[in-house]
């Protein structure tokens, strides 16, 4: 979802972000170094990340601006810490409604409620560049998380934001969008990705 979690043509809808809580603005500073994005099938992408504790906050405050810089450069709309090789429950999201930055930092996020209504959308992932597939998920979710100041926050989301939040929280549980596909489709995507990466390296 990105243009991170997902790539592809995205229609940005105001209601996707209308209920997001106050966000801490994280400027996209050009001098923040980006991080390398880990590609599937790296083992860290399959491992559940561990919860952020109080003593991790300094690490997280240093990590988050670099995650945003990496995500914006990709470009993407979501990025989870395991995708940059860090096994902590941290993710960043920015759907940039009307092209305006609206960054969300999710620390120890949890889906606390889901709608019974399901919806299917095309997803992609920065760890699976150029690979897309339709994924069916609950249409609406309520997500509880901590922000960079350690305050508890809640978002009720629908549309693209709902799918993006679920996709990023999945990353923290070692789940990729291809895990929702049949083994056949999953293997086709993984083989195509490996082939494309080999071709890219030999160029």
Using Cβ positions, the residue closest to Ni ion within the complex turns out to be 125
Torsion angle of C-alpha atoms 199, 170, 134, 185, degrees rounded to 10: 50
Q: Which is nearer to Ni ion, 53 or 192 (CB)?
A: 192
Any contact of residue 81 with Ni ion (CB under 5 A)? no
> Per-residue string for binding with Ni ion, 163-192, x by CB under 5 A?
------------------------------
- Binders of Ni ion among residues 109 to 138 (CB under 5 A) are 125
Cβ atoms < 10 Å from Cβ of 5: 31
Q: Which is nearer to Ni ion, 32 or 172 (CB)?
A: 172
Q: How far is CA 179 from CA 23, 90, 99, 190, 197, in A?
A: 31, 21, 31, 11, 20
CB of 149 to Ni ion, least distance (A): 26
Contacts of 117 (CB under 8 A, 6+ apart): 138, 139, 140
CA–CA separation, 69 and 76 (whole Å): 10
Any contact of residue 5 with Ni ion (CB under 5 A)? yes
Any contact of residue 35 with Ni ion (CB under 5 A)? no
Q: Which is nearer to Ni ion, 175 or 188 (CB)?
A: 175
CB of 21 to Ni ion, least distance (A): 22
CB of 2 to Ni ion, least distance (A): 6
Q: Which is nearer to Ni ion, 93 or 125 (CB)?
A: 125
Which stretches within 41-175 are classed as H helix? 57-73, 159-172
Any contact of residue 141 with Ni ion (CB under 5 A)? no
| Parallel/antiparallel/unpaired status of strands 78-80 and 90-93 | antiparallel
Asked about 168 being catalytic, the answer comes back as yes
CA angle, 8 as apex, 81 and 136 as ends, to 5°? 70
Residue 199: Cβ-neighbour burial (10 angstroms; 0-12, 13-18, 19+) = exposed
- Catalogue the active-site residues: 168
Chain residues binding Ni ion by CB under 5 A are 5, 125
């Amino acid at each position: 979802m990105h243009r991170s979690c997902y790539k592809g043509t995205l229609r940005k809808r105001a209601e996707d972000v209308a209920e997001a809580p106050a966000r801490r603005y994280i400027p996209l500073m050009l001098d923040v170094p980006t991080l390398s994005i880990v590609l599937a099938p790296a083992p860290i992408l399959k491992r559940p990340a561990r919860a952020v504790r109080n003593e991790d906050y300094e690490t997280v405050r240093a990590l988050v601006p670099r995650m945003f810089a990496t995500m914006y450069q990709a470009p993407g709309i979501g990025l989870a810490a395991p995708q940059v090789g860090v096994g902590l429950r941290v993710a960043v999201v920015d759907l940039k409604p009307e092209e305006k930055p609206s960054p969300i930092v999710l620390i120890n996020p949890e889906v606390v409620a889901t709608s019974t209504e399901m919806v299917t959308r095309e997803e992609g992932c920065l760890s699976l560049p150029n690979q897309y597939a339709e994924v069916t998920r609950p249409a609406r979710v309520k997500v509880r998380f901590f922000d960079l100041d350690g305050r508890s926050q809640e978002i009720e989301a629908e549309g693209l934001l709902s799918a993006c939040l679920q996709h990023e929280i999945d990353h923290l549980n070692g789940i990729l969008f291809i895990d929702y596909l049949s083994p056949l489709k999953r293997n086709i995507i993984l083989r195509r990705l490996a082939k494309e990466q080999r071709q890219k390296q030999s160029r």
